[in-house]
Amino acid sequence: MSRQLSQQEIDAVFQNMQDRRRETPAVKFDFRRPDRIPKSQVRAIHLLHDTFVRNLVSSLSAYLRSYLTVNLVSVEQLSYAEFLDGLPSPTCMVSLGLSPYDGNGVLELNPSLVFPILEMLLGGTGRSSASIQRDITEIEQKLLDGLFRIVLHDLREAWKGVTAVDFTIEAMETEPQLLHILAPNEAVVAIAIEVRIGETVGMMNIAMPSIVIKMMRQKFDQQWSVRKTHASVAEQARVLRLLRGSSLRLEARLEGPTLSVGDLLELREGHLLTFDFPVERPLELKVNGERKFRAQIVAAGKKRACLIDHVYPTAFQGRMSEEGEGSVGGAP
């Protein structure tokens, strides 16, 4: 007997095929693999892409003539199979050349972003609420060339601080599982970026082979050490500039003998207290409660004053004091 399948039965067949494809066994990943990079380098990549997203905001806003926000969501190490499993299907993926380094990276743009951007490039508002799930056409791919050119330009500029990488588009694909540029169990550094255009929110994902980034470790170390030195000097100058106009409390205390609580309670009107503080004994000057200066009592006209004869070293000067240079100033 022959009969025609209903539309509901056809949909069920395709749904079962998609579920079966999603249920592919996970690839075991050994965290002791030599192609993984240290956490310090991951943090450096996070800072690098912080700069990238800040530049991308202004570049895309000018290109699309619309206000948008771009946020760096995460930087983590995954296997290439795990990275692909987290992408929607179909989507817009490009294979990136990483000249002069061997290997390829991946740049993916969610369909929830692609179609509103295409609408804006064609003169629309990009605020269509309809969710489109289909492959992009060859004409639409050509329209996206300008967008990818801007993204890759900002990516090159961000990486220039570490090393010159020429990011180029080598191929475009719509099915994640068909972009076989890396082995499934090869480690990649995955950078997730959220792009919000009005009420439209979507993800841009970048993946670079960990083995390629590991080859750049020396360049990262050099760039990080230089940045750390320059940043510390610049940060000190910035903090000092902000603090120059601050108000501080300066106290000069004549510290005499101590009393017990019992003696204090027995004090009455007419009792005489002697502080027993010789004039030649130096005073301790405190700034906001912290000992900072040593001084002598002097007369300034009809007023009493303090003449500073010693500056106690701060935490910064503590290093110098170990070399015999901690004291600043001398007896007047």
Contact 182, 160 (CB under 8 A): no
Residue 324, φ and ψ in degrees, nearest 5: 85, 15
Closest to 207 in 3D by CA, of 75, 295, 21: 75
Give dist(CA 208, CA 75) in Å, integer: 11
For residue 84, the number of C-alpha atoms closer than 13 Å in the C-beta half-sphere is 27
Which residues, 6+ apart, have CB-to-CB distance to 233 below 8 Å? Answer: none
Each residue's pLDDT, cut to its tens digit, for the chain (332 residues) gives 455 667 777 777 667 666 655 555 554 545 545 557 788 788 888 888 998 999 999 999 888 888 889 999 999 998 999 999 889 888 899 999 998 888 899 999 998 888 888 888 888 776 665 577 788 888 888 888 889 999 999 999 998 888 889 999 998 888 888 888 888 888 899 999 999 988 888 899 999 998 888 888 777 766 655 555 555 677 778 888 888 888 888 888 777 777 888 888 888 888 887 777 776 778 888 888 888 888 888 887 888 888 888 888 865 444 444 444 433 333 33
Position 324 scores a pLDDT of 43
If residue 193 lies in a helix (H) or strand (E), which one and from where to where? strand 187-197
| 156 membership: H or E segment, kind and range | helix 145-159
Residue-level pLDDT at 73: 92
What is the reported pLDDT for 148?
A: 92
Calpha distance 220→11 (Å, rounded): 51
Nearest 5°: phi and psi at 282?
A: -70, 155
Distances (CA, A) of 48 to 37, 39, 152, 246, 324: 16, 14, 14, 34, 41
Burial class (CB in 10 A: 0-12, 13-18, 19+), 284: middle
In angstroms, the CA 82 to CA 209 distance is: 13
d(CA 189, CA 209): 6
Domains for the chain: give ranges and CATH numbers. Answer: 33-226 (3.40.1550.10), 248-255+277-332 (2.30.330)
